[in-house]
Structure 1
Amino acid sequence: MSLRSRLTAGLALAIAAATLAAPPASAAPAQLLSDPVYDYATAIREAVYIDTPVDNDGDGVADKVVADIIRPSEAATAGVKVPVIMDASPYYQCCGRGNESEKKAYATDGTVTKFPLYYDNYFVPRGYAFIAADLPGTSKSKGCEDVGGAEEIAGAKAVIDWLNGRAVGRTAAGATVTASWSTGKVGMIGKSWDGTIANGVAATGVDGLVTIVPISAISSWYDYNRVNGLVNPKVSSVPSLHSLVNARPAGTCTSVSNALTTGADASTGNYNSFWAARNFVTNASRVRASVFVVHGQNDLNVQGVHFGQWWSALAANNVPRKLWLSQEGHVDPFDSRRSVWVDTLHRWFDYWLLGIDNGIMSEPMADVERAADVWQTSTQWPPTGTSTANYVLQGTGDPGTLAVGTGSGSLSLTDSASLTEANAVSSPTTARTGRKVYQTAVLTSDLRISGTPTITLRVKSSKSTTTLSARLVDYGTATRVNYRSSGEGISTLTSQTCWGSSSSTDDACYKDTAKTVASAAYQVLSRGWMDGAHRDSLTSPANMSTSTYYTITWKLRPIDQIIPAGHRLGLVLTLSDAEFVSSHSTGATVTVDQTACVLSLPIAPVGALAGLSAAGPITVYAPESYAGTGTRFQ
């Protein structure tokens, strides 16, 4: 079949998909997908310099962002308009994208000859354009990167405005250029900071942004750098992220960098106007795009609070949405569930950007990984039938009891600044200074926690403030994804698979990965922290009186985890936590009134476990490797 014949057939499929006759009852349903009918090697590659409404580098000229574009030439020749998939990123030159840290490569005329990741290779032949946009102040764009601020969001939004005729774009030579080839429909995708940009742009309500796919993405920059009045030392600060990606000449962005340092107010954990401007959750009512949220439940970098609060806000505003939750850390699903991911993403974009009624929105809302490469679906998330169960604290022995009923007794907990998480949660029947473990009886049936746990403690502190730390733990030996390994749950193999078409300068092949697992006696399922002085307000801290009991409530990280029958659910309380929050120890001793303490858990029906499916290679590590560390922002 000629290329033109294949082109016609592919377009016909996209247009007429909804009218295809139903297959016989004995046949499998037709898979309605866009076909790779366009030639990737001859695709049009161009760079457009787009005006933003901001001039934060102070040179008197509107800042410009660079949109590097690749689109099918045959569609342009035939006058067929195409939608756009866009990954707006600060990382295209400083750090690279994906598991293999790919960077853009350029021809002598400044156009991109190699795009990072597989989106261009896979989707351009299927009738999409792909745009890799450099955020302001990074790579070839002007302006100064303000890390989640107005400049960053306006820069990415300007690309969508240009695609819809609302912004000015120019060639490198300065000639005005329009996007007459575009349908105006845009889907944004990206992992980590890139996905964060997608959240932020969606929260502007910009017309033309039809869908976003935020992967391991931030929904509020305060909740990335701060935790309930405490500073998160495990992540990069806003000023250091600016320095990492800044590509402007020395001195150009000094004023912006200084403003980031001042605004972030690193000496405190306070919430202020700087952080409010970087909180996308508060603007969820403006979101007009569908949202496909993807997150690792064990992501210690962009922690689960980001998907949880974003998902809840989207649900409250009836935003069409879908969810994948994995057992890995800060890992792209392309590197953890590759074939299923590419197929699902393909159908998602076909539905939202090409209008192919392939049924994806009638499928289960959530996919949740239960163990390495073992998944379960839920029609809704949190699942229908989820209800709150309140567990109380009882007993002063080691361990205490976690049960449904009435709390009893009191105890003193003295801060131990050197206590690591491993020592805090391991060997629960051993008395250790600085921690208190509570456990349920051995479970007689599986227990599914699906949503956001909340803890309430009634405490009196010997100091004017103290950190309060809580962890939910699954006690019971099992083989689990080792999210503390250097790959955060995956290892990279030497073999490759290809996803899309290749050219002489840009191949579509990527190294395969394997799940990294280890047998361990426990797993920390969820964590949460609170600074006592910020108990009532994140903006106006108030010291604790040493003679007063305070009832303090805070949220732990949202999860969807099953604690199997035969295991115990544990709650571990400590004070300071040098790994996850600072300031560190105040040396406090805290009296805990167990009669007024409650752990509230969202308990869901376990579901039909017969629907589980498993596939993929697994790398097994010895149990001692389970305590390894390693996080990355990208």
Structure 2
Amino acid sequence: MKNNQFAIRPTDLDTQIQELQNLHFLTSNNEMMDKPIDLFTDFLRLSFLKAKSKAAFEQKLSTYMATQNQDLLEYITSNKEISIQAFYNTALQLLRFNPDVDFSFEDPLSAMKKIQLKIVDHKTNFMGLNELKSAWYWLLATHNKDGQTFIDSLAADGYFVPFYGEIGSPLLFNGKSMPVFNPHKLIREVVYVESSQDTDEDGKLDLLKAEILRPAETENGLKVPTIYTASPYNQGTNDETGDKLMHNVNVPLKHKEPNNLEYKDIEYKQIPKKLPDPRTVNGQVEVAEESFAREQSYTLNDYFLARGFAVVYAAGIGTKDSDGVRTTGDPEETTSTVSIIEWLAGNRHAFTNKVDNIQIRAWWSNKLVAMTGRSYLGTLATAAATSGVEGLKTIISEAAISSWYDYYRDGGLVIAPGGFPGEDADVLAEETFSRRLQPGDFNKIKPMWNKKLKEITEDQDRNTGDYNTFWDARNYHKNFKNIKADVLMVHGLNDWNVKPRNVERLWNGIRHNDVMQKIILHQGQHIYINAFRSIDYTDIINLWLTHELLGVDNQAESIIPDVIIQDNVKTETWNSYSDWSNDNNPKIEYHLSKDKLITDEVTNDKLTFNDQLSDELFHRYVNHNDEWQKDLVDISSDKLADHRLLFTTNNIEENVIDGKTIINLKVASNHNIGMLSFQLIDYGEAKRFKASPTLLAHNGLAETYDWREDDLREFTYGPKTNYKMITKGHINLQNRDNTYKVSDLEPNTFYPISVELQPTFYRIPKGHKLGLVIYATDFGMTVRGNQDIKYSIQTGESNILIPTHKDKII
């Protein structure tokens, strides 16, 4: 395996010694030791937490090997010095690497270098006192085979339990916060934040439930920052009623009436509303009236609860115990999300309950907030950042939507999020309207909710798929300029739920905002990566939040690379780069020629395919999307040969696609309707990553001692395959100019179109071929009308522009 650590902070010896003292590895008991072997023994004694006696400690030592011939107990009792070899043999075992598998006792340094573990600077084959202290410091900061730093693994064994209640403030090591706060003594409380909206139109400002977990030390005056996750799923979901609203996608593509719309015609403009007056405050308290037993937590947040951070969860308007109605991403939802931040920053009222208007402040808050979460949760973090709200210091935006049109639509077409054909904004609104789960409350709001849900269904406009005012209200790009918080983005390059365009537009949209921006791109789908073995993601976030929320000058801004991307060919390999998807990247132009992609001559051929399948094949693909995908791109299969165009290059030299592939075509339809879909394919027999990460150990990562766990996972190779879909895109031929302007489509008339595929970063190995598949119906995403439509393409006026990456790995 390879150890990819991007969050190790360069630290000088004086700082290392001070931090080892703070961690109680250097103590009054060992500070006078002048022999490195004695100090090394004491370090081990402090690390073997389960060995409570001298005999138990020596028994533990005897289970380790120091050299190929001596166990660690024998070595320590028979040597006066500690050799580099013996130290790193021991270190590798402490880090849970296996001899004869991961390293050899004869040459541990070779394994250290191969696994990419830090080796202390040394001048001889034996360690002096300072070299030992430095080597132990780096060992504590190093990831073990299970993807956890040695110090965090010691924490999971109880190393920091004696610190509970003694420190009273965050303890730092290597620029990161340590778990010195007892998570079993967390204060749990519920408050109701008054937002500046009345979405259920009941004549009262909406109250929003917030669940708070904070260290017990806040009761003694400690001010802490807050990690806030806005999750509409937090209070429960209505899966059954949501399923009933799913839309039928086995419907024909419809002709749209042409228009001459300009953006100003469909632009969303918020109309000021007369709001009810704020509630009259009837008193103030510092103790909440309501608690809770267990929140619907996020394991990354769990990790920070023992490290001096408070965590807040809020589901927002239209959820159980809150007021209002669901709106799926519009400005009202942003207002709801931001209201919690304003309360944490001291700029908004909250109450102990929804009845008697007794105010409670976030008196324990240091008024600095970070937002975390994936998918809808990360989306609301992005939305909140676009408000420029005071107190929001940073967002960690994972697999987040930056425009809801790019989630449910593409190129003038209704496009399903991957895996959810038939879902739309109204379905999601119903699923997250958890006020339904409380019948007494729902009875009062039912007429209002039915009205709102009908409005969403009509305004989302599944008939045309066009960009309209409804979608413009849910486009956060328009307010990127307002983002003042630093942004750390995480996204899967194979995420076809929240497609990569969402993060790419955020990445490029805030380039000139004068904020820190970082991005991590992985090879997964719609997943979290905080429990991966091969990358120190949790440490990256710890370094980031310690800097952002605790105000520690730990150089997070320069230590964490701007761009980290997981390699798609080699497992457990992550590289850092200076940028991603820059429009200035060089491009390779390919021309279309029958079944080839060529870079030299231009041929003028007319190529055709028909979208209609036999009833038998059509219905099979409706029920087996995976089989359709295989037949679509399989060069050796002729099942769809007449229903697609497939082009490949010759075998190519290794290349890296970096950004947005552009396809320019001259195309005609034999009807006044038409759509095209595109897939870029890597052809070549190879072992490729499995679609989902492999579970290495259930509950394999403890957040700290006797505290919540997470599953340890990693991407591993599957069996050899002949191809891999790299990216895709879609367009309605009537939306040739843009997604809100509809043009006529004369049958059998050729029109130029330009389509931007989803951005990516993909390494094509040497000897593989690059392929392009042009087709119409996408059985996983588009409507499926099985219409008798014939498409024609003129190759002489068509090309494909592939953006390439030329920068070296940093």
TM-score normalised by structure 1 residue count:
0.84
Superimposed CA distance per residue, residues 189-213 of structure 1 (whole angstroms, 9 cap, x where no aligned partner): 1111100100111111111111111
Q: Structure 1 CA distance, aligned partners of 2:683 and 2:302?
A: 45
User: Which of 119, 134, 138 is residue 319 of structure 2 equivalent to?
Assistant: 138
One-letter code of the match for 1:90?
P
1:377 is aligned to 576
1:18 is aligned to none
Contact 1:210 1:290 in 2 (8 A): yes
Moved more, 51-60 or 332-341: 332-341
Contact 2:543 2:556 in 1 (8 A): yes
Aligned residues: 567
2:253 is aligned to none
Find the structure with the greater CA-based Rg. 2
Does 1:513 pair with 2:710?
Answer: no
User: Which of 414, 418, 422 is residue 231 of structure 1 equivalent to?
Assistant: 414
Q: 1:271 to 1:530 in 2, by over 3 A?
A: same
Q: Structure 2 CA distance, aligned partners of 1:337 and 1:366?
A: 19
Does 1:537 pair with 2:738?
Answer: yes
Partner SS for 2:465 = coil
Q: Structure 1 CA distance, aligned partners of 2:496 and 2:806?
A: 27
Task: Point out where structure 1 has 5 or more consecutive residues left out of the alignment.
Answer: 1-5, 11-23, 97-106, 612-634
Residue 47 of structure 1: how far off its partner (Å): 1.0
User: Which of 630, 637, 645 is residue 436 of structure 1 equivalent to?
Assistant: 645
> 1:248-259 maps to which residues of 2 (within 5 A)?
248=435, 249-250=442-443, 251=446, 252-259=448-455
Q: Structure 2 CA distance, aligned partners of 1:95 and 1:607?
A: 46
One-letter code of the match for 1:122?
Y
User: Which of 213, 216, 223 is residue 73 of structure 1 equivalent to?
Assistant: 216
Q: Structure 1 CA distance, aligned partners of 2:487 and 2:698?
A: 34
Superimposed CA distance per residue, residues 239-267 of structure 1 (whole angstroms, 9 cap, x where no aligned partner): 11111121221415222212211211122
Contact 1:33 1:356 in 2 (8 A): no
Contact 2:319 2:433 in 1 (8 A): yes
Does 1:88 pair with 2:230?
Answer: yes
Superimposed CA distance per residue, residues 3-47 of structure 1 (whole angstroms, 9 cap, x where no aligned partner): xxx9x969xxxxxxxxxxxxx987578721122222222222211
Moved more, 125-134 or 424-433: 424-433
Contact 1:385 1:604 in 2 (8 A): no
Residue 127 of structure 1: how far off its partner (Å): 1.7
Which of the pair is proportionally richer in strand?
1
Q: Structure 1 CA distance, aligned partners of 2:660 and 2:597?
A: 21
Contact 1:466 1:576 in 2 (8 A): no
Does 1:284 pair with 2:284?
Answer: no
Does 1:213 pair with 2:356?
Answer: no
Q: Structure 1 CA distance, aligned partners of 2:468 and 2:696?
A: 41
Partner SS for 2:335 = helix
Contact 2:612 2:787 in 1 (8 A): no
User: Which of 433, 442, 456 is residue 664 of structure 2 equivalent to?
Assistant: 456
One-letter code of the match for 2:554?
N
> 1:413-492 maps to which residues of 2 (within 5 A)?
413-417=609-613, 418=618, 420-427=628-635, 432-443=641-652, 445-483=653-691, 488-491=692-695
Q: Structure 1 CA distance, aligned partners of 2:705 and 2:709?
A: 9
Moved more, 114-123 or 266-275: 114-123
Which of the pair is proportionally richer in helix?
2
Superimposed CA distance per residue, residues 251-297 of structure 1 (whole angstroms, 9 cap, x where no aligned partner): 15222212211211122201111110101112111111111111111
Does 1:59 pair with 2:260?
Answer: no
Contact 2:664 2:800 in 1 (8 A): yes
Residue 119 of structure 1: how far off its partner (Å): 3.9
Partner SS for 1:604 = coil
Contact 2:566 2:575 in 1 (8 A): yes
1:19 is aligned to none
User: Which of 242, 252, 256 is residue 429 of structure 2 equivalent to?
Assistant: 242
2:768 is aligned to 567
Q: Structure 2 CA distance, aligned partners of 1:316 and 1:521?
A: 42
One-letter code of the match for 2:362?
A
1:620 is aligned to none
> 1:16-31 maps to which residues of 2 (within 5 A)?
31=174
Q: 1:332 to 1:493 in 2, by over 3 A?
A: same
One-letter code of the match for 1:556?
L
2:791 is aligned to 590
Q: Structure 2 CA distance, aligned partners of 1:416 and 1:316?
A: 47
Does 1:393 pair with 2:601?
Answer: no
User: Which of 541, 546, 561 is residue 345 of structure 1 equivalent to?
Assistant: 541
User: Which of 334, 346, 350 is residue 169 of structure 1 equivalent to?
Assistant: 350
Contact 1:454 1:556 in 2 (8 A): yes
2:81 is aligned to none
Q: Structure 2 CA distance, aligned partners of 1:413 and 1:161?
A: 57
Superimposed CA distance per residue, residues 41-86 of structure 1 (whole angstroms, 9 cap, x where no aligned partner): 2222211100111111121111111111111221441x23211111
Q: Structure 1 CA distance, aligned partners of 2:548 and 2:380?
A: 19
Superimposed CA distance per residue, residues 488-540 of structure 1 (whole angstroms, 9 cap, x where no aligned partner): 444475353211355xxxx4112333435422110000000001011113223
Task: Point out where structure 2 has 5 or more consecutive residues left out of the alignment.
Answer: 1-18, 24-119, 123-133, 139-172, 239-287, 436-441, 622-627
2:726 is aligned to 525
Contact 1:295 1:307 in 2 (8 A): yes
Contact 1:402 1:438 in 2 (8 A): no
Contact 2:302 2:703 in 1 (8 A): yes
1:366 is aligned to 563
Does 1:34 pair with 2:231?
Answer: no
Contact 2:590 2:597 in 1 (8 A): no
Residue 407 of structure 1: how far off its partner (Å): 4.8
2:108 is aligned to none
Partner SS for 2:510 = helix
Q: 1:182 to 1:108 in 2, by over 3 A?
A: closer
Over the aligned positions, Cα root-mean-square deviation in angstroms equals 2.6
Contact 2:195 2:339 in 1 (8 A): yes
Does 1:553 pair with 2:754?
Answer: yes
Moved more, 200-209 or 331-340: 331-340
One-letter code of the match for 1:580?
M
Residue 385 of structure 1: how far off its partner (Å): 8.0
Superimposed CA distance per residue, residues 205-229 of structure 1 (whole angstroms, 9 cap, x where no aligned partner): 1111111111111111111111111
2:336 is aligned to 155
Q: Structure 1 CA distance, aligned partners of 2:194 and 2:592?
A: 59
Residue 597 of structure 1: how far off its partner (Å): 1.0
